[in-house]
Amino acid sequence: MVDIKTKESPFSPGKPVQPEYFVARIKEIQRLERAIKQTVAGRNENVFITGQRGIGKSSLAGFIRSLAEKEHSLMGSHCFLGGVRSIEDMMGVIFQRLLQDCTDKTIFDKLKEVFGSYIKELTLFGMGVEFTKDRSELRTLVDNFLPVMRKIYEQILSSGKKALILILDDLNGITDVPQFSQFLKSFVDELATSGKPLPIFLVLVGLPERRDDLIKHQPSVARIFDVVDLPTMSKSESEDFFINMFDRQNVRITSEALSLMVGPSGGFPMLMHEVGDAVFWQDKDNRIDGQDALTGIMEAAQVVGRKYIAPKVSSLLKSKTYASILQIIHKKAPLGGMFSRQQILEALPSGEQKNLDNFLKRSRELGIIEAMEARGEYKFVNPLHQLYIWYEAKNKQ
Ligand SMILES: Nc1ncnc2c1ncn2[C@@H]1O[C@H](COP(=O)(O)OP(=O)(O)OP(=O)(O)O)[C@@H](O)[C@H]1O
Ligand SMILES: [Mg+2]
């Protein structure tokens, strides 16, 4: 028996993964590493990492930053702009993060000189940097962004750094601000026409809709940023994920358990962490078998369901008819697979058939199911949602 106190789950549901726990994504890494090398050679590279919620954008960006810093002597920061609604505030976040992320005392002292009076308070070598919140000071930084970045670059050169990397993540609020798109374009254009290269790798990270917002405000953004669109992980990538993660805690997995876990995760790393974590805590003997996997998956479906879709599902299940339609869908559609309207229609008692179209419309609006390319075919947005909904519908009945 393993002492529960000594157990530590290698899974981190809900948080971007630490670079040392990062798996797969070889193709995307190669592409981004090429951009890093181009940057080091003196160019300005610009990339937009996009993909569905929870697909691994921030994790990939974090991994790339770590690779850039460790293997290619870049320096930079990963800024989360979730609550930021203006480019002035963005300046505050960018430079505060840059100072906070700086772990080299010599470089830190040089940056301190660059920012001088913009730094309002300093505690313990960078740990607690309080950057200015004064709007007019922040405005000066917006207007002088390129010269400031140049200055930073010149300062870090003598410490062996070769280029800069700036990651702007969680662009939810700022993409609504038209000046942000304009700011990006002006920065890139100004740099290109200055005749004086600056090796800076600019990485934007956000949902596809956020990129659309940017392009709506400034169409040139579409050509400035190369797109890295993250797909769901393949079956073999998902298998590698579970094998590697469990291996870190010396836990073995039977092949039955492995395929049971891969299916309901549907290639979404976020779900893989939820499934992995739930299964990990089922295990008592450092060996995951089919039963551990099954119990863990049901547990994960509940966790994910409660976190993401519980209110939507409970509104849907208020109707007994919808609950029985869901039961039929569950019998017809394999986990993660699709079902057709016709199939469900045929299985429904004749009195209930008229409710099917309403049900499909409502579920689509709620984001529970999505339409496939072929007309009249649907699938659940992800397999764990399907499992949760089936479980809730069964309880309801
Ligand atoms: N390559 C990977 N290896 C291991 N775990 C990963 C990988 N990519 C993502 N994850 C895990 O998947 C989950 C979602 O990842 P992340 O937060 O990076 O996604 P995201 O696309 O940035 O999500 P959001 O759209 O919510 O910002 C996290 O638990 C993270 O640890
Ligand atoms: Mg993210």
Does ligand 1 have an atom closer than 6 angstroms to the CB of 206? no
Residues with CB under 5 A from ligand 2 (ion): 57-58
For 270-308, the pLDDT digits (tens) are: 999 999 999 999 999 999 999 999 999 999 999 999 988
Does ligand 1 have an atom closer than 6 angstroms to the CB of 57? yes
Closest residue CA from atom 16 of ligand 1: 56
Average pLDDT of the segment spanning 115-126: 75
For 182-216, the pLDDT digits (tens) are: 999 999 999 999 999 999 999 999 999 999 999 99
The CATH homologous superfamily for domain 25-229 is P-loop containing nucleotide triphosphate hydrolases (3.40.50.300)
| Atom of ligand 1 minimally distant from the CA of 205 | 22
Does ligand 1 have an atom closer than 6 angstroms to the CB of 15? yes
Give CATH 1.10.10.10 domain extents, the chain: 317-396
Give CATH 3.40.50.300 domain extents, the chain: 25-229
pLDDT computed for residue 88 by the predictor: 96
Q: Which residue has the tokens 């726990």?
A: 21
Above 90 in pLDDT, residue 178? yes
Could you say which architecture CATH assigns to the domain 317-396?
A: Orthogonal Bundle (1.10)
pLDDT band at 112 (very low <50, low <70, confident <90, very high): confident
Does ligand 1 have an atom closer than 6 angstroms to the CB of 13? yes
Report the distance separating Cα 357 and Cα 257, nearest Å: 37
Closest residue CA from atom 7 of ligand 1: 56
Average pLDDT of the segment spanning 109-122: 85
pLDDT computed for residue 327 by the predictor: 87
Could you say which architecture CATH assigns to the domain 234-310?
A: Orthogonal Bundle (1.10)
Of the listed ranges 120-129, 176-185, 256-265, the least confidently predicted one is: 120-129
pLDDT band at 331 (very low <50, low <70, confident <90, very high): confident
Does ligand 1 have an atom closer than 6 angstroms to the CB of 10? no
DSSP three-state, residue 119: strand
pLDDT band at 253 (very low <50, low <70, confident <90, very high): very high
Give CATH 1.10.8 domain extents, the chain: 234-310
Report the distance separating Cα 300 and Cα 280, nearest Å: 11
Average pLDDT of the segment spanning 26-31: 96
pLDDT above 90 covers a percentage of the chain that reads: 70
Nearest ligand to residue 14 Cα: 1
pLDDT band at 124 (very low <50, low <70, confident <90, very high): low
Indicate the top mutation candidate among 25, 59, 171, 275 to test ligand 1's pocket, ranked by most ligand atoms within 8 A of CB: 59
Pinpoint the alpha helices (H) of 201-289: 208-217, 221-224, 235-247, 255-265, 269-282
| Atom of ligand 1 minimally distant from the CA of 23 | 3
pLDDT computed for residue 129 by the predictor: 82
How many helices (H) and strands (E) would you count in the chain? 18, 12
Does ligand 1 have an atom closer than 6 angstroms to the CB of 199? no
Of the listed ranges 96-105, 290-299, 338-347, the least confidently predicted one is: 96-105
Apex 242 CA angle, 240 and 247, nearest 5: 95
Does ligand 1 have an atom closer than 6 angstroms to the CB of 55? yes
